[in-house]
Structure 1
Amino acid sequence: MRGRRPLPWTEIARMRDHLTHHYFDTAHSFVRATATDDFPLLAAAVLRLRSGLNARD
């Protein structure tokens, strides 16, 4: 994953904490924007990590 912008792990953890502890105070538009805009980037990064690990086997 060299040369790629690092994932915002702190923001990811904060989102998880917010959803866990303040679920009913969360705007649905915020969750939808995260799911449509941010999640695909995270999913792509996970796939790159997995393919890198599989290449080592």
Structure 2
Amino acid sequence: MTNLSDYDEEDDDWAADDFAGIAAYNRKFARRRFIIHAIIVLFGVFIMIAAGFTVFAPYRL
């Protein structure tokens, strides 16, 4: 744990640089991440529909 008396305000800007790098990284892969998540969600919806047909198959809807 750092002592507050040792805190140097000039070292305070590392977090902003770090978060800027994270934001640029996220923008770089945003489209790929969106496509992957869309595929996963659509696959999940398909599984739910298939499960519904399986459960209600004996009732001849």
User: Could you say whether these structures have the same fold, taking a TM-score greater than 0.5 normalized by the shorter chain as the test?
Assistant: no
Higher RCO (CA 8 Å, separation ≥ 6 residues): 1
CA radius of gyration, larger in = 2
